[in-house]
Structure 1
């Protein structure tokens, strides 16, 4: 895994190219790395509090996983709706629709209508496991700091 900037599984990204109306950005909680938050603050000049929700040590992208509201960064892009921070998007968004299944293997999320346009690089399983470990490590540090 190259820092917090995981490679995309497909370029160009079909959901961006086709202004995909699928609810992917609304259905899934998006955990954030500290590096994701720093990158988004730099790209948007917004304070982290405006787009980060804290929950049990996790840092989550505000609105993601809430079907009625959707991701705080989903908005008008060109002639449709899309990601307004695509170039600075979080690591979890960079790997989507390739996700880590409960068994520790990479799989394609069935909610994505373009899932088969994404080619899974051979190392994606290891990258997703490393991302998950890093997210859990950062969460653990926050929980520990809060307990002090």
Structure 2
């Protein structure tokens, strides 16, 4: 079960990743929007995305949701922020997580997001690796 964490604060990103990895999730980490979009493009089997509302880039977490939804049509999204007012807006098909948050809160929300991911047709199947023949030079 793959989770993408897009969070510009290194400590928060590391804590979230450790929580999720300890619970058995495979975690991909990004500290900025461009890295998160690149990881989403390369890993279309991501089931849940945790994205900070304020990333310090020119785009906010809210603004990248559309791009991520286009790339990951079955993925479920969790917006995370210490700015509680930013999370008061209702955003369709998006869960909200307020900082500071505890382990059980994070794991509960991610678990329910994965249930919805599967119910909407999402699959954790990882694309097969394309194997190319190895060419050796004989001399």
Q: TM-score range by the shorter chain?
A: under 0.3
Ranked by relative contact order (alpha carbons within 8 Å, sequence separation 6 or more), the top structure is: 1
* TM-score, scaled relative to structure 1: 0.26
Q: Which has the larger radius of gyration?
A: 2
